[in-house]
Structure 1
Amino acid sequence: MVNSPTTSPLGMTRHRVRLRAHVAAVCCGVLLTGPILAGATAPALAAVAQERTRHEESGRGTLLSAEKLYTLASPQAAAAELRTAGFGDDTVRHGVVAYRLVYRTVDAKGQPTTASGLFAVPLGAERHLQAVSFAHGTGAHKDDSPSMRRAVFHSAPVIAHAAAGAAAVAPDYLGLGKGPGLHPWMDIGSEATASLDMLRAARAFAPRTGHVLDREVLVTGFSQGASAALGLGRALEAGEDRWFGLGALAPVSGAYDFGGAELPALVAGTLDKKSGAVYAAYTLVAFNRLHPIYDRPAEVFRGTYAHTVEDLFDGAHTGLDLMRGIPDSLDALLTEHGLALLTHPTGALAAALRTTDAVCTDWRPRAPVRLYMATGDEQATTENTEHCRAALARRGVDVPVVDLGAVDYKESRHLGSNVAATTAIVRWFGELRRR
């Protein structure tokens, strides 16, 4: 569930721990008038205007620093970068320059903070570029993020989109990369604000690379990032930025119905049991930090795990550390109360899950949407995708589901879906840009 050479359900890198040398993957400028919500009520429009004002007054999206990380000077070099990460290279048309941006944003409670992300632009491309925002899957260590390492699972989709001719933008999220503090995992609100503010920072920096970002953003994300992508898409269509709007949306293998589909599958043992135990631990620890659901770790974690599990999610432990430090089953990890919380969430946890699970249920996308998944996903049950498709259908949006088939990466169907989907989405977004 870290992101070394691998990632997990919500994008984590899963290391199958038989403690041997083999580590397998698991799995995470000028302001102009922007889009207005079609048919919005006066209170809704007032809320959007208030959000814009808050953004402007707080300096959200202000670029603090930009560092050139590396240059892939030719299409051949970009292709080699993708192959090293285990991704396809048949959509490469450009070399790429990659930068780390650090910018102002807000934390999960709306307080000022900073975050970082990866910004990549194609060499030899036209001045005007369309932005592609990619939200990565689950990571636990601060380096499990696009701007911190190259030629790896989290950064490869960014390079793929840039090498195809887009300006690729990828937030590291709060608490990962160069951001301070702890990562608020699966907190859709802060993932959306970090993503939107990364776009603003990229727009401010783009002229230094000889480019200008167009208004429509193509949004994608994998696993944890699939829900983050939906959160960003919702914010863009709500008009939360004066410049950017949503051009298309392509989430991959998300836990869109985290409380109604993902957690029940984890508890029932129908998903990979080891990664399920890691995700259960991450759920309780991360959600408890924002929505207190237990007073003492011993209420939910058994034995010595009550003294060790919370520390594993401090941003300094790797995915291998998590795999070593968390048992192979929920029964060994959780107390009866801990298991009951995940089986029948109540109180603060239930309220938090209702917010997390609203990414497909509380809005009606106007831009084109495609959902990508792989049959047999061992980390994110495919019921998530079906529930999202059905929820959007109830709102009158017919969303195609693209089944990527039997696609494995590092012995993981979940991770394989990101690799296969990246090529498919690069092609689809390319078609949309050429229209």
Structure 2
Amino acid sequence: MTSRAIRIIPATLAIGALLAAPLTAFAVTQPSLAQAAVAQAALAERTAVRGSLVSAVEVAKLKAADLDAAATDAGFVGTPKSRYDVTVYRLIYRTIDPNGRPTTASGIVVLPDGRHGALTVAEYLHGTTATKAYAASVDPESTDRLITALFAGTGLAAIAPDYLGLGLGPGKHPYIDTNTETSASIDLLLAARTFTARHGVALKRDVLVTGFSQGGRATLGVGRALTRGEAGSFRLGEIRGVAGPYDLLDVELPAVFTGEVEPHVATMYLAYFTTAWDRTVGLYNNPREAFRPPYADTVEGLLDGTHTEGEIVAGLPDTPAKLFTNQFLAKLKHPTAHFRQALQDADQICHNWTTPAPIHFYTGTKDTDVVPTNAPACATTLRATVTTHSMGPVNHFGTAHTAYPQILRTWTP
């Protein structure tokens, strides 16, 4: 994969080639993702109990020294030394789709070897990925898997959902859908409680929530649900969001058209966002209303979760103006009617709840994927104690590289 391809899919830490780490200890033989997803969807129809565990399988073991070496090779400079070897498990669990119907999703639980009793849980929420096979539960080189394992290496019980439609989840991923990002994350937490009890581990009540990019935004939805008691006895411990697009309507979308977001990056984001939101919100009647030829005939299929990053990059132009019709570009620049209302509803994660738990945002001044002004815009409307940490003159991924060693040190038990 070329360096340009890496930058086009900027909001994922699930790309082995992006932050290549020698995670050969994570390698396992995988079944056909399509076959597994169909099988899990069939299981979901048998019962609709959210958060119930369908299956669990060990997928990797990693020594503490190997974990530290992987963190260094991946660029997480200053990461604290791991205190424990860890074991990674893939869970399949029951949750709901955007229409509230029963489905399944996959995710990982990583436990520190030799630790029993009550452990604090850290939930990591990943950034944008458009490829099912890059999810942490199935990709042995996933940097999302690495970050989650690093939390476990400190002595925490660490979990990471793939979200809907990624990993072994059936169907397409409903990208930037707060409701299902939240439900998939909460339901994994419930499934993890059942699973860890079998290993002599109880999960403490307070949950530490962190995420990068798309996952940074998702931390607020998960935190809101925990605060409102939507995860049983679990409650919010704190939030640490890294480079999240918290304010879509007033900050991130306008930044696309002022040039603050790099055009080739904006093209991929908007293509993914538009095709996903057409399924959940309804943005066009026919792809030709939104996309120019020849992309109108190919873009929806290109972003169905089965294509690699290289294929996605090769199938898209380098600017939004080349991808979208003039009429649809105007709609993106100046949202109206139900589209504007959907954006306002999505941005309520910064408005309509309060929490006594601390919230921390991490930004980089050279981030041209998710502009750093997202954080203060959200902080001013959140009814909570919010601290924004600038990581200095670093880009999108540089923000994660500098933030996560700090978060790991802060959360080490």
Q: TM-score, normalised by structure 2?
A: 0.88
For 2:399, the aligned partner's letter is S
The match for 2:400 is 418
The match for 1:427 is 409
Matches within 5 A, 1:226-237: 226-237=216-227
**1:258 correspondence with 2:254:** no
The match for 1:361 is 351
Distance 2:319 2:105 in 1: 34
Distance 2:12 2:60 in 1: 24
The match for 2:140 is 150
> Is the CA contact (8 Å cut-off) linking 1:136 and 1:223 kept in structure 2?
yes
**Percent identical residues:** 40
> Is the CA contact (8 Å cut-off) linking 1:298 and 1:306 kept in structure 2?
yes
Distance 1:5 1:266 in 2: 19
Q: 1:429 to 1:405 in 2, by over 3 A?
A: same
Q: Secondary structure at the match of 1:362?
A: coil
For 1:350, the aligned partner's letter is R
The match for 2:33 is none
Q: Secondary structure at the match of 2:300?
A: helix
> Is the CA contact (8 Å cut-off) linking 1:103 and 1:198 kept in structure 2?
yes
Matches within 5 A, 1:85-124: 85-88=74-77, 89-124=79-114
**1:293 correspondence with 2:283:** yes
Displacement of 1:206 in angstroms is 0.2
**1:77 correspondence with 2:59:** no
Displacement of 1:153 in angstroms is 2.4
Displacement of 1:366 in angstroms is 1.2
Distance 1:14 1:322 in 2: 14
Displacement of 1:361 in angstroms is 1.2
The match for 2:123 is 133
Distance 1:382 1:406 in 2: 11
Match of 1:165 among 152, 155, 173: 155
Q: 1:254 to 1:314 in 2, by over 3 A?
A: same
Displacement of 1:398 in angstroms is 3.4
> Is the CA contact (8 Å cut-off) linking 2:292 and 2:323 kept in structure 1?
yes
Distance 2:14 2:197 in 1: 35
The match for 2:388 is 401
> Is the CA contact (8 Å cut-off) linking 1:7 and 1:415 kept in structure 2?
no
For 1:186, the aligned partner's letter is I
**1:352 correspondence with 2:350:** no
Q: 1:398 to 1:368 in 2, by over 3 A?
A: closer
Distance 1:81 1:208 in 2: 29
Q: 1:208 to 1:12 in 2, by over 3 A?
A: closer
Name which of structure 1's ranges 271-280 and 118-127 shifts more when overlaid on structure 2.
118-127
> Is the CA contact (8 Å cut-off) linking 2:14 and 2:145 kept in structure 1?
no
Matches within 5 A, 1:252-401: 252-392=242-382, 395=383, 397-401=384-388
For residues 270-310 of structure 1, give each alpha carbon's deviation from its aligned partner in whole angstroms, at most 9, with x where no partner exists.
21111111111112111001111101111111110111111
Q: 1:208 to 1:77 in 2, by over 3 A?
A: farther
> Is the CA contact (8 Å cut-off) linking 2:9 and 2:268 kept in structure 1?
no
Distance 2:14 2:159 in 1: 21
> Is the CA contact (8 Å cut-off) linking 1:10 and 1:254 kept in structure 2?
no
Displacement of 1:6 in angstroms is 7.6
For 2:89, the aligned partner's letter is Y
Matches within 5 A, 1:18-97: 58-72=48-62, 74-88=63-77, 89-97=79-87
Q: Secondary structure at the match of 1:391?
A: coil
Distance 1:7 1:328 in 2: 9
> Is the CA contact (8 Å cut-off) linking 1:133 and 1:170 kept in structure 2?
yes
Q: 1:293 to 1:367 in 2, by over 3 A?
A: same
For 1:75, the aligned partner's letter is A
Distance 2:113 2:7 in 1: 28
For residues 33-91 of structure 1, give each alpha carbon's deviation from its aligned partner in whole angstroms, at most 9, with x where no partner exists.
xxxxxxxxxxxxxxxxxxxxxxxx9410000000100111x321221333343334434
> Is the CA contact (8 Å cut-off) linking 1:236 and 1:244 kept in structure 2?
yes
The match for 1:198 is 188
Displacement of 1:12 in angstroms is 7.0
Q: TM-score, normalised by structure 1?
A: 0.84
Q: 1:321 to 1:429 in 2, by over 3 A?
A: same
For residues 141-167 of structure 1, give each alpha carbon's deviation from its aligned partner in whole angstroms, at most 9, with x where no partner exists.
002222122343222210111111100
Distance 2:131 2:279 in 1: 17
Q: 1:367 to 1:91 in 2, by over 3 A?
A: farther
For 2:393, the aligned partner's letter is A
Distance 2:290 2:363 in 1: 32
Listed as ranges, the gaps of 5+ residues in structure 2 are 20-46
Distance 1:204 1:355 in 2: 33
The match for 1:410 is none
Cα-Cα RMSD: 2.2
> Is the CA contact (8 Å cut-off) linking 2:238 and 2:357 kept in structure 1?
yes
The match for 1:19 is none
Distance 1:278 1:214 in 2: 39
Q: Secondary structure at the match of 1:421?
A: helix
Displacement of 1:7 in angstroms is 8.2
> Is the CA contact (8 Å cut-off) linking 2:14 and 2:135 kept in structure 1?
no
**1:11 correspondence with 2:15:** no
Displacement of 1:208 in angstroms is 2.4
Listed as ranges, the gaps of 5+ residues in structure 1 are 16-22, 26-56, 408-412
Query: Matched residue pairs, number?
Result: 383
Q: Secondary structure at the match of 2:173?
A: coil
